[in-house]
Each structure stands twice: as C-alpha cells, then as structure tokens.
Structure 1
Amino acid sequence: MTTAQFSSPDAEMVADFFNDFEEAYQASEHLLLKLEKEPSNDALLNDLFRRVHTIKGNLIYVGLVDICPLLQSVEDVLEPLRKGQLRYDDLLSDVILLAMDTTHELVENRLQQQASNLGEAQMQSICEKISRIANCEPSQRTAIISQAIKALDAEAELAAPDSEFSKHGVVLNNDLRFFAQLLPAIDQRSPYWAGRTQRIAELALNMNSAAGAPIDANQLLAAVYMHDFAMAFLPLELLHKPEKYTAAERLRVQAHVKTSATLMQEMGNWAQAANIILQHHEQCNGAGYPNKLTESEICDGAKILAIADAFDACVNSRAHVDQPQRPLIRAILEINRYAGSQFSQDWVNIFNQIARPKRTQSH
C-alpha cells in the first residue's frame, strides 16, 4: 500500500471526516458485541451495514480508495447475513472486528503520514479470505474464518514469553527461581496452559511499570507465578469440563485461591504476594470471591492480576475446542466492557495504554 495522502488537504474537512469515522467505528464495535447476544436482530444488522457502508463512502470522498476493499469484503459478508443466508456467531464477529480495527489503523497511519506494513498484495489476500466466508460450504466455514483471522491478526502476542523482567525492577532471588522452576510442570498439567503464566507476568509487570510501579515487582511476579498453583492439583476432568460447574464443583475450583495464598504465606516474606493471590478473583462490584470485597478493599496487585488473567483467558479461550484463538481486539473490548464492574476502571485505563497504545481509549 502506498502512503499517498488525502486527495484534498483541507484540514477542516479531514478533521470532520475523522470525527465521523471515529464515531462510526466505535458504534460498529458496540453493534458487533450486541449482535452476539441477539444474532437474529435485523435492526442491529442493518445498522451495522449502514455504518460500514458510510465509512466506505467517506473513505472514497477523502481519497482513501485503497482502503475501501477491506470494508467491501465486510459488506460481502454482511449482505448474506441480512438475508438470513449466513449464521452470525462470535467467530464471524471476530473477523469483522479485526477488519474494522485494521481499517482504523490504516486510516490513522494515513492521517499521521506513516507508512503501512500492509502491502497491496497482502490487502488483496485478506479481502479474498474474508469474502470467501460469504459463499463457502458450512463444513469449510470454520477453517476459512480461521484463515481470515490469521491473515488479519498476524501481529505477535502482546508480550513475548521469554521477556526479561529486570527492566520492571524484578531482582531474582532463590524463591523466585524456585517458583519459576515450578512453572513448566504447572503449565504442562493442562495442554491449554502452555506459556500462559509468562504471558500474564509480562502484561502485569508492564501495567505496574506504566502506573509508576506502585506494587513491589518481586511480589507481583511471585503472585503471578503462584496464583493458580493449587489449580494444578484439581482433576483434569474438572479442569477441562465443557459444561457449567455444579455448585459443589464451583466451590472446589474457587478454593484454589486460599490454598495458593496459604502456601505463599507459609514461606515467609511473601505476604503481599499472598494477598494478591487471595484477592485476584474479587470484583470491584462485590460479586467476586472468596470474600466479596469491593473496589476500595481490593489491593492494586490483585486488580492488575485480575485484568491480566482475564485478558489471557479471553485471547486463548478457544484452545480447548480446537478453534482459532480470539484476536487481541476482541479481548481488549471484553476487558473494557467490564471496567467499573468486574475490573477497576483506573487499572483498565492503564491496561489500555499497554494493549492499544495508538488507539482512542473511549469504549
């Protein structure tokens, strides 16, 4: 893709365009999430189609014609949805979310006169993969959607598992080395846990650093390393159960926070980490466990860990059903959806700085 600028350089016109574009973009995101709960809602589908079509028209008006094929491919999918020829679900929602997010990024790059790393051939390939969804055989649908998601979401994970933590103020000691040595065994307990602890640690430490490091980095890292230690001792048939837990099973799973926290407390020198572990499933609205604490009663380390843990679970939620991982944009929106209720709004704001540093944060 070239870095050609707008056909008309009028600053007021460009500002008006971007304000309209930003409004339509955010509205589209919210419509997609609503559609997951009401997939047969024709009014929502028609509204989404109008938003996408309007954005495409505005792109043409200001000279960004080369971005339009991406939105045209989205329209190719929305049209059979509106006619009832295609079933809407969250997999399809992921594709459209990613396409809209990619459009947003391309527009921002152009406004800032930055080169895009999405070439013309790659753009064409992505559009073809999205458009194929509209006419594919039902038996091929998941595989074709997976190809589209991978093409759109080719970025690396938010954090590399082997990142060094010293930049966050972590000073390794014998206890931390011991916890780190336990991780491979814990992560191997379930094939769906591989690498998750390191990913969560990197995000949690990044959030802490972005906020000025209010939590001791060693305590936070220890809490991340050991927060699910007791979970590894539960039966695999319980850990991998696809159906909802019974009341008794739910209590059994929830007990892991007290067990893990107690082990950390017994070691000495890890009281803060133990408290983070004990509270990381509490919710700001008081609906969490084990003690139904509210936001003012929950420590900051637990607020960070709650977000990092939920984010990783959302991105990797499909591992156990052999479907594509959730794209980052989806997981980011999910975290923001529960800001102020399940998660601390202040810490979600910090999370947004890490997860979407170049995006408008109001969702």
Structure 2
Amino acid sequence: MDRQRIEDWLRVDPEGLQDFIDGLRDYLPAIERDVARLRVARDDRDALGSLFRSLHNIKGDAALCRVALAVALVHPIETMLERVRRHEVPFTDLLSEMVLLVVDHLELAMNRLAAGHAFADLRVEPLVQGIEELAQLAPSEFDERLSSLIGLLASRRSLAGGGSDPAGEPTALRRQREDLSFFRSLARQLDGRSPRFAGRCERLARLVLQTNQAAGGGIDPAQLEAAVYMHDLGMMFLAEAAWLKPGRMTAEDKVALHRHPLQAAGLLSRMVGWAEAAEMVAQHHESPDGKGYPQGLPAAAICPGARLLAMVDAFDSVMLKHDHRGRKRSVLLAIAEINACDRQFAAEWIAPFNQVVRRLLDDR
C-alpha cells in the first residue's frame, strides 16, 4: 500500500471528521435493514437501490468532509453493488458479509481516528486493497476471492475478537451499534416528555464527544455516547409532576430523583459490553466536593467520563434556563457559570470544553 495514501488517511480535520461520523450513524440502520432484505429476496431492486444510495451518500459525505479513508473503503463496495444492479454478479451471502464487514471497519476506524488512536490492527490496508481488486474481477473469480478476503479479515471484525458465527450472528461491533441505536431511541423518548428538551440527547452527545476528542480522546467514544443517552433514563420512572413541574421539589421527590442514576446504570451493567458506560451513568451526579449523589463520592473515586458528563449536562441545563435570551446569550451565560463553579466540576475538563464551546460560537 502506498505510504502517501496512508498518510492521507490520517490527515483529517477534527470537526469535519466528527460531522462525518455523526452523519454515518444515521445511515447504518438502513444499510443493515437493506442487507437483511436482500438476503431473503436477492432480486429486491428497491432494497438494492436503497443500499446503493446509502453507500453513495456516505462516500459523498466523506469527500465533502475530506475523510479520505472512508472514500477508499466505500467506493469499491459501491462499484460492486453497481455491478449487481447491472446483473453482472449476483448478490450473495458472501457479498452481504463483505458489505457489513466494510461498514464495521469503517465505523470502528472513524472512531479510532476521532480519538487519535491507531487502527493498524483493523487491517484496513489489506481490506481496501482487497476490495479494490475484487470490484474489478470477472464473475467467475468473484466468490473465491470474496471468500478468501472475508476469511482473512473476519477475525478483526469485532471489538473483542469475535466475528460472525456460521449462522450469521451479528458481530460485537454490530451489536454495539444496535445497542447505541436502542439507547438513542430511549433518550429521544425521554426528551419527548417536554418540547423544551427536543434534540437534547444529540446535543449532549456532540458536546461530550467533541470535548473528549479535544482532550485527547482518552475515553472510549462508544462507552461515552452510551452514557450520554442513558444517564437520565431513570427519570422516566418518576412521575412527570415531580420533575417537570415549576418550583421546589418535595423531600420525597428528591429521594426518588437521587435514585435515578442507579436505575439506568443497573440496566447497562446487565448488558454485555457496557460496564464502563454504567459506571459513568452511576456517577454522573457525583461532585468533586463530595456533595453529589447517590453515594457522595470523593473526587478521586469519580471516573473521568462521569466528570465530563456532569459538566456538559449542567451546561445544557443552564442554557435551557436562559433560552429566552437567545441562543448566543444562553451559551455565554452557561459557559460563564461552568467556569465559575471550580469546585463543582472537574478542572481537567474545563479547558477542552471551553475550546469546543468557542468553536460552537464561531460557527454561528
């Protein structure tokens, strides 16, 4: 593989990369749905057209955001699907596995890039080279080469080393993506309880992930995203009158409120692969001064993800409090309050968060 090409893959604009990742997530459910449809009905032209458009749009977004690695991964798969559309090659189970393999590697590689981590173990280079060669093969050579390429790379598909079993069970990476989609849907249900919360979960996720990236990407982005979506899920078990009403909460309301982090954390802790997110959720209302809840932990016992989530969650709450003053004014008031509360929030997150918010203001 050309060394210059690899250097081009690593050369990304952080904001453009995050925009691409945000958009990529929106395409993934449709891709998996269309692949599943095509496995059942190989001549489903609507599903094939939808799958082709999703990949074409991903490639277009990647080009626009200048994410060269994504273009390199998606373009030859798009070429293969165009050959299927022209009836040059059939849509087989092997080809469906290859499409999902590429999507898995694409998402994981993008998350690694965003966090500043290496992705050599993903074998992206032989994957790109292999699918480029594959897209040009004669139909008689197609299945053999496809099977060989899948066999070479399947062991690297998952986050924890597990691939697809012979029955076609989802990989750990695909399960993780499905879990995140489910968590996001729950968060949107919670946001729907009040018009003021519209778009809140996506807004928090963007701020938290960008701040983590600005600080060097030390926290796993998927775990962090899961924590954002799930941190307030326990609020759904409270009577709406207890937390949506104006004025002071009663003592009973406060006791119930202080339990909500443990309810969501308990759910996450019972799901495979989300222990880190569960810890963040359980601790996101703890405070460095030891006056938080539900356990009153000291600063040293609170995990970094919880400290970051607590700060961004508070920032968004202050913005909502001042939203009648206009977007820019509410942002300025919220960031001023966060910076003034040096004992309530973790100092190590304030500088990278300020950096993210400054970009937010500059973009408006």
Q: TM-score, normalised by structure 1?
A: 0.50
1:189 partner SS: coil
Cα separation, 2, equivalents of 1:233 and 1:324: 32
> Is the contact made by 1:283 and 1:295 (CA closer than 8 Å) also made in structure 2?
yes
Q: Answer whether contact 1:168 1:205 (CA < 8 A) is retained.
A: no
Amino acid in the other structure paired with 1:192: R
Map 1:15-54 → 2, pairs under 5 A: none
Q: Which runs of 4+ in 1 moved over 4 A?
A: 165-172, 322-326
> Partners of 2:309 and 2:185 in 1: how far apart?
21
Q: Deviations over 1:1-34 (max 9, x none)?
A: xxxxxxxxxxxxxxxxxxxxxxxxxxxxxxxxxx
Pairing 1:1-363 to 2, within 5 Å after superposition: 163-164=22-23, 168-169=111-112, 173-318=177-322, 327-339=330-342, 341-356=343-358
Conserved in 2, the CA contact under 8 Å of 1:304 and 1:347?
yes
Instruction: Work out the CA distance in 2 between the residues paired with 1:285 and 1:223.
Output: 22
After superposition, what is the alpha-carbon deviation per residue over 1:329-351, rounded to whole angstroms, capped at 9, x for unaligned?
11110000112x11011111121
Alpha-carbon distance in 1 for matches of 2:359, 2:178: 35
Query: How far apart are the structure 1 equivalents of 2:190 and 2:238?
Result: 11
Measured against aligned partners, the alpha-carbon deviations of 1:103-138 in whole angstroms (never above 9, x if no partner) come to xxxxxxxxxxxxxxxxxxxxxxxxxxxxxxxxxxxx
* Secondary structure, counterpart of 2:270 in structure 1: helix
Q: Structure 2 vs 1, CA of residues 358 and 318 (structure 1 numbering), >3 Å: closer, same or farther?
A: closer
User: Could you say what secondary structure the match of 1:347 adopts?
Assistant: helix
Shift of 1:323: 6.8
AA in 1 matched with 2:353: F
1: CA distance, partners of 2:334 / 2:360 = 16
Letter of the 1:343 partner, please give it.
F
Q: What is the CA–CA distance in structure 1 between the aligned matches of 2:259 and 2:285, rounded to whole Å?
A: 11
Distance 2:187 2:285 in 1: 21
Shift of 1:264: 0.6
- The unaligned stretches of length 5 or more in structure 1 are 1-158
Tell which has more relative contact order, 1 or 2 (C-alpha 8 A, sep 6+): 1
For residue 346 of structure 1, what is the amino acid of its counterpart? Answer: E
Retained in 1: the 8 A contact 2:243–2:249? no
Coordinate RMSD, CA, aligned: 2.5
Deviation (angstroms), 1:174: 1.6
- Larger fraction in helix: 2
- What is the CA distance between 1:192 and its match in structure 2? 2.2
Letter of the structure 2 residue corresponding to residue 261 of structure 1 = A
8 Å CA contact 2:188, 2:201 repeated in 1: no
- Contact 2:184 2:201 (C-alpha < 8 Å) held by counterparts: no
Q: Distance in 2 between the 1:235 and 1:358 partners?
A: 35
Which AA in structure 1 matches 2:197? W
Q: Distance in 2 between matches of 1:179 and 1:243?
A: 30
Q: Which runs of 5+ in 2 are unaligned?
A: 1-17, 26-106, 115-172
Q: By how many angstroms is 1:213 displaced?
A: 1.0
CA change 1:280–1:267 in 2 (3 A) is same
User: What is the aligned-residue identity percentage?
Assistant: 40
Q: Would you say how many aligned residue pairs link Structure 1 and Structure 2?
A: 197
How big is each residue's C-alpha offset from its partner over 1:263-302, in whole Å with a ceiling of 9 and x where there is no partner?
1111121110000000000111111111111221110000
Q: Are the equivalent residues in 1 in contact too, given 2:280–2:306 (CA < 8 A)?
A: yes
**Residues in 1 aligned to 2:213 and 2:353: alpha-carbon distance in whole angstroms:** 11
CA distance in 1, matches of 2:213, 2:111: 6
Secondary structure of the residue aligned to 2:203 is helix
Q: Give the Cα–Cα distance (whole angstroms) in 2 for the partners of residues 285 and 219 of structure 1.
A: 25
AA of the residue aligned to 1:260: A
Are the counterparts in 1 of residues 183 and 230 from structure 2 also a CA contact under 8 Å? Answer: yes
Q: Deviation per CA, 1:151-197, whole angstroms, max 9, x where unpaired?
A: xxxxxxxx99x944765548762211211232332211222221111
CA distance in 1 between counterparts of 2:277 and 2:352 reads: 21
Q: Matches of 2:201 and 2:356 in 1, distance apart?
A: 18
Structure 1 CA distance, aligned partners of 2:191 and 2:360?
Answer: 32
